[in-house]
């Protein structure tokens, strides 16, 4: 990746414990960091839509999104106290090639810390369904790349960490172990493939989990469709 900056790094932190070190890490990696704190679900959707539509993506080589929130098993709540959750799969859908053509064929990295609220603590099930960002206006049509064979779901890295929401009550000001380890791995001055760093991250989380109670554990899932080896290094 050669562009300067490498791309937009969007940080949405609805808990408020992780923004500062994440901002420093991704700035040092060469990203233009945009961060937002304490958003409700409607605001999260609005910001994601705005960022997905940014024409700057056509000049950049990648995109990063970090999302920290309370949520359900497959959704985020933001700062809302009811469970009008926004499904996580719709977050990813907003940046797929058909909805966000300027990022087609470019790495799209998602790191999500979800503090899961148990079903017994939620009011009623009411998930928000939204359409992806509109790309059918005149300006978008004029700028869209021509036909290609790259699949719309290609070049995603989707790293999701779940922890019990009670962790926030036990240590309200403490950062996410998952995001702290991620930041440390990315900030080390060495050129290592991102997937190797994520394996090390998993190992660090596993070590933590082996020493604490079930309520204090973090669980990390990784899915990716990256077609090339990706290396990030501090500038």
Domain 7-117+151-225 of CATH type 3.40.50.970: no
Cross-strand bridge partners of residue 163: 115, 218
- Find the mean pLDDT for residues 127-138: 41
Q: Give the position of tokens 């926030």.
A: 168
How far apart, in whole angstroms, are the C-alpha atoms of residue 87 and residue 169? 24
Do the bridges between strand 62-72 and strand 75-78 make them parallel or antiparallel, or are there none, so unpaired? antiparallel
- Find the mean pLDDT for residues 71-92: 89
pLDDT > 50? residue 129: no
How far apart, in whole angstroms, are the C-alpha atoms of residue 34 and residue 154? 24
pLDDT number for residue 168: 93
Ranges of each domain in the chain: 7-117+151-225
pLDDT > 60? residue 194: yes
Angle at 102 between CA 99 and CA 105, to 5 degrees: 95
How far apart, in whole angstroms, are the C-alpha atoms of residue 42 and residue 59? 28
pLDDT number for residue 150: 81
């Amino acid at each position: 990746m050669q562009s300067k900056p490498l791309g937009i790094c969007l940080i949405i932190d609805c808990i408020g414990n992780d923004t500062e070190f994440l901002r420093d890490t991704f700035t040092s990696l060469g990203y233009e960091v945009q961060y937002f704190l304490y958003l409700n679900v409607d605001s999260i959707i609005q910001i994601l839509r705005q960022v997905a539509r940014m024409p700057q993506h056509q000049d950049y080589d990648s995109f990063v999104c970090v999302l920290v929130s309370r949520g359900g098993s497959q959704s985020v709540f933001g700062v809302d106290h009811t469970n009008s959750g926004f499904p996580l799969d719709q977050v990813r859908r907003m940046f797929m090639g058909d909805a966000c053509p300027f990022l087609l064929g470019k790495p799209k990295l998602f790191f999500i810390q979800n503090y899961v609220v148990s079903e017994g603590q939620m009011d009623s099930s009411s998930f928000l369904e939204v359409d992806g960002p509109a790309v059918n206006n005149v300006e978008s049509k004029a700028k869209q790349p021509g036909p290609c064979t790259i699949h719309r779901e290609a070049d995603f890295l989707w790293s999701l960490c779940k922890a019990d929401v009670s962790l926030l009550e036990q240590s309200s000001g403490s950062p996410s172990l998952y995001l702290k380890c991620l930041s440390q791995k990315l900030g080390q001055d060495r050129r290592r493939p991102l997937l190797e760093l994520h394996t090390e991250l998993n190992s660090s989380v596993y070590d933590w989990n082996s020493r604490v109670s079930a309520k204090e554990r973090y669980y990390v899932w990784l899915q990716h469709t990256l077609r090339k080896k990706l290396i990030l290094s501090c500038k």
